[in-house]
Each structure stands twice: as C-alpha cells, then as structure tokens.
Amino acid sequence: MSDRQRRRRPLRNKDQNAPHHDRWILSYADFITLLFAFFVALYSISLKDAGNEEVLSETLNGVFDAVQKSIKPINVGDPVAGQPESERLLEVVPPEESEADNPPGEVEGRSPLYDALSQSIDSQFPTLQSSGQISISENADWITLDMKAALVFDQGDYELTNEAVALMIVISNILRTYPAPIMVLGNTDDLPTNSTTIPSNWHLSSLRAASVVDELVYRGINPKLLAPLGFSSENPKVRNTNDFARAQNRRVTLKISKRRADNLYDYLFN
C-alpha cells in the first residue's frame, strides 16, 4: 500500500463501532408524543360530552329533588290542524287576568284527571310545562298531553330517554287511578329519516308511539286501553319552514278519553 493511500484512509475512533446506548431517547420521545395526542383526544371527547352529562345530571336531580334548570318559555301561536294559513311563528304573551281563568278552547271546570296530571308533573318536573316541553289541555271529550320529541327521545331514535322513563312513571301512576281509553300519537317533521334501520317517518312515528305504549304497559296500564298510532309528518302543528317550527311538530301525544270504557277497541268501533 502506498503512502498516499495510507494518508487518505480515515482514522477510526476506537468507539465508532460501539453500540449507541442513547438511542432509547428517540423511542421515548415518540412514545411521549403519542401519549400526549391520546390524552388530547380524550380531553376533546370529554369536552364534547360534558354538556350532555351536565344536562342528564340536572335532569335526574330535578326528577328526585324537584330542582331543574329554568328555561325561558318560547311557544308558537294557536295550533292549526293540517297546513296553517300563516307561516309566521308567534310568541305567546301572558293572557289577561280575565282570560287566564278560562283560556280559549278549554272547558269550564277542570276534570280531576287533568288536575292530577298537571299537579304531579309540576311537582316532579317543575319547568317542563312552563318551558313548553309538555302541554296539557282538555275539551269536552279528551285530555291531551303533548310531549316534545326532544324530551322523550334522542334525535332519530325511538328508545325512551332516562327522563322520559321517569316521566312515564309519574304519568302512569295517575292513569292507573283514572283508567280510560288512551291513544298514543307519534308525529315527526317533514325531513326524511337518516337511518338504514328506520326507512321513513311513518316507521319512526309508529315506533316512538309504540315505545311509549310499551312503557305504560310495563308500568301497569291495562293494555286493552292503549293503542299506538303513527302520523309521520301529516299532522303538523305549524308549517315545517325552519328548525324551530320542525321542533314543535316532533312530538308524542297522549289522547286520554274522558269517558270510561272496558277497552279501546269497543270505544272506537262499537
């Protein structure tokens, strides 16, 4: 080997081929980065679900302790069957003192069942009627109990929420004392369902009505006095022109007869 080649050969450090014991730092740094991303994802999920957990906690406290979060009442104008002539939503103002005793369309002198339902719901769920999530009315033949779908079901679902089950317990306790034929009516808005298991609003409204009937039967109501009916979007209270209006149309209604009968079939068809 020439002297020039020897000069070009690099001099090796005696530790050059020794293993690098500090390479674990790179793996550790990658692990910490992934762990940080994991906890950030968990934190984001917790923030997303925090509102629902808070609402559920307040709701359950309201069921058992009669304490609930107040919601400003917002209502629409007088309900109109079919397609209302006006698309304008009206905010209901407090009636005059002379009108408060006998609101338009109501019968003079409340029935005992009406008073029992109204008082029990107000005592256990103080804000549901004032916020418009539940409304109770009566005429000469029927007592009508309207429940907003958002109170009773999750969006696009037909399984009862926890608050709905608690509400059904209160309602069924009263209905067992005043047995009468009851029709449970399911209503939706005009938007198509976004589900592979529920093909149409006809199915959704019928399934929701059936879920309420199932719960009432489970709570001791005579099944011969009950029937679920689904109306899809064909029985709106107001025009489906915006999200607020559609929320008014998504509802479940209990139509309770003021006449006694042994079963609903004979009451309707005989």
Q: What is the CATH number of the domain that holds 245?
A: 3.30.1330.60
The answer to whether position 213 is within a domain reads yes
**Count of structural domains, the chain:** 1
Which tokens in the block code for residue 115? 């008073």
Confidence of residue 36 (pLDDT cuts 50, 70, 90): confident
The answer to whether position 159 is within a domain reads yes
Q: Which amino acid is located at 3 in the chain? A: D
* Residue spans of beta strands (DSSP E) within the chain: 134-138, 142-148, 182-187, 226-230, 251-257
The answer to whether position 144 is within a domain reads yes
pLDDT in tens, 45-79: 665 555 555 544 554 454 444 333 333 344 444 44
Mean pLDDT of 236-261: 93
Angle between helices 112-124 and 162-177 (to 10 degrees): 150
The answer to whether position 145 is within a domain reads yes
Secondary structure element (H or E) that encloses residue 124, with its range: helix 112-124
pLDDT in tens, 105-153: 444 568 899 999 999 999 999 999 999 999 999 999 999 999 999 999 9
The answer to whether position 30 is within a domain reads no
The answer to whether position 29 is within a domain reads no
Residues of the chain with pLDDT > 70, as a percent, come to 65
The answer to whether position 101 is within a domain reads yes
The answer to whether position 42 is within a domain reads no
pLDDT the model gives residue 176: 94
pLDDT in tens, 88-108: 444 334 445 434 444 434 445
Contact between residue 182 and residue 257 where contact means Cβ atoms under 8 Å apart: yes
Contact between residue 246 and residue 190 where contact means Cβ atoms under 8 Å apart: yes
Task: Write down the residue that tokens 């009442």 correspond to.
Answer: 73
Q: Is the pLDDT of residue 253 over 80?
A: yes
Contact between residue 269 and residue 230 where contact means Cβ atoms under 8 Å apart: no
pLDDT the model gives residue 54: 53
Whole domain around residue 121: which residue ranges?
52-269
